[in-house]
Amino acid sequence: MITAEKFFDITNKVEILIFNALNQLFVNYPEDYVLFMASGEYDELIARNKEIDVSPYTISGHNIDNYYDYTRQRFLCEFLNTYYKFADTKELQDDEYRMNIEFLIYTHIWEAKPFLKRLYRLANLLCGEKYDWKIKVPTIRKSKFIKEKIINPFNTSSCLLGELLADNYKTDLRNAIAHSDYQIDIISKTIGYKSKTALCNISFDEWSIHFSYSVCLSYYFSCIIRELRRRIIQDWGKNYFTIKMPYSDGTIKHTCIQYEANRDEFGFIMKE
């Protein structure tokens, strides 16, 4: 069970942490901030297609991850509006059916490559690392990737998102849910699950906290990035920017891009 007051407190805390992290990037690494907002990505499909002479280094609407993320966001929005509006109640009662849906969502959140890549980029940029166009999110042992490549860099940069992730990403619980090694006990209000070494349990209240933090981070991370991207002309006083662009010859050159507000996309400025 979770109360409306607790859930909205979590929502507010998560939003503040996300805004603070992105503002930290904006203040300390403004050029990387623009590239982060432009969703720079190396497109493997373009790179493998020898019939076209197009750079595999893409931005914005050319990035298929944006479409994947949009599909996931629509579902999360529908779920939250259905179960977490607290329109007629001050607390959400324990419900086995809803909890099973939450298990699926929790698993998908920590498997979602677009989400993990964004977290990875933000965490490493805040440490002063170069923008990574080619991110390989492993298909197995994601827990090591999340802890070493996301949580640790956040902690290094003193970004409190690292603490939030460490507190609410539970490897053994996620694995148990993914493999259906869990049991919901309505009477004792606990979830029993199997880790690598032992049988464990977590109370419904504990689960509600971990789920709420995870789903709010996943949902609002994309929402706030989109909100700040749409404000970029207002924040910078212009719609054109310079990014560091890799080229096929191995060089990195400053390249001009512009933000197209009517399409909410960045595009390359073509030379005349």
What token pair was written down for 240? 């054109």
Mean pLDDT of 49-62: 80
- Summary mean pLDDT of the chain: 92
**pLDDT value of position 249:** 81
Per-residue pLDDT at 84 exceeds 80:
yes
Q: Give strand pairing partners of 256.
A: 242
pLDDT value for 100: 95
Lay out the sheet containing 182-185: strands in order across.
182-185, 190-194, 199-203
pLDDT at 62 over 60: no
The stretch 231-251 carries a mean pLDDT of 91
pLDDT number for residue 196: 81
Q: What percent of the chain has pLDDT over 70?
A: 97
Q: How far is it, in rounded angstroms, from Cα 26 to Cα 235?
A: 10
Q: What is the pLDDT of residue 61?
A: 57
Q: Which of 68, 69, 56 is nearest to 133 (CA)?
A: 56
For residues 268 and 241, the answer to whether their CB atoms sit within 8 Å is: no
Which residue stretches of 29-160 are H helix?
Answer: 30-37, 44-48, 64-83, 96-109, 113-125, 142-145, 152-156
Tokens of 47: 């790179």
- Residue 259 and residue 176: Cα distance in Å, rounded? 43
Q: What is the pLDDT of residue 248?
A: 77
Residue 155 has pLDDT above 90, yes or no: yes
Which pTM value belongs to this model? 0.93
* Tokens describing residue 146: 């999340």
What is the arithmetic mean of pLDDT over 69-79?
87
Which residues 6+ apart lie within 8 Å of 197 measured at CB? none
Structure confidence at residue 73 as a pLDDT band (50, 70, 90) = confident
* Closest by Cα among 66, 73, 16, 91 to 215: 73
- Residue pair 25/36 in contact (Cβ under 8 Å)? The answer is yes
What pLDDT shows up at residue 19? 97
Distance CA 72, CA 45 (A): 22
> In sequence order, what are the residues at sequence separation of 6 or more whose Cβ sits closer than 8 angstroms to the Cβ of residue 153?
123, 124, 126, 127, 129, 162
What's the confidence (pLDDT) of residue 63?
61
Which of 77-91, 106-120, 162-176 comes out lowest in average pLDDT? 77-91
> Average pLDDT of 170-179?
93
Arithmetic mean of pLDDT, 84-103:
91
User: pLDDT by residue (tens digit) across 133-146?
Assistant: 999 999 888 899 99
For every residue of 165-182, DSSP letters joined together read HHHH--HHHHHHHHTT-E
Give the length of the chain: 272
Percent above pLDDT 90 for the chain: 74
What is the CB neighbour count within 10 angstroms for residue 246?
Answer: 18
Q: How far is CA 31 from the centre of its chain?
A: 21
pLDDT at 140: 82
> What confidence score (pLDDT) does residue 185 get?
95
Mean pLDDT, range 225-244, rounded to an integer: 95
Q: Residue 207: CB partners within 8 Å, gap ≥ 6?
A: 99, 102, 191
What's the rounded mean pLDDT across residues 157-181? 94
- Domain spans in the chain, listed from the N-terminal domain onward: 2-268
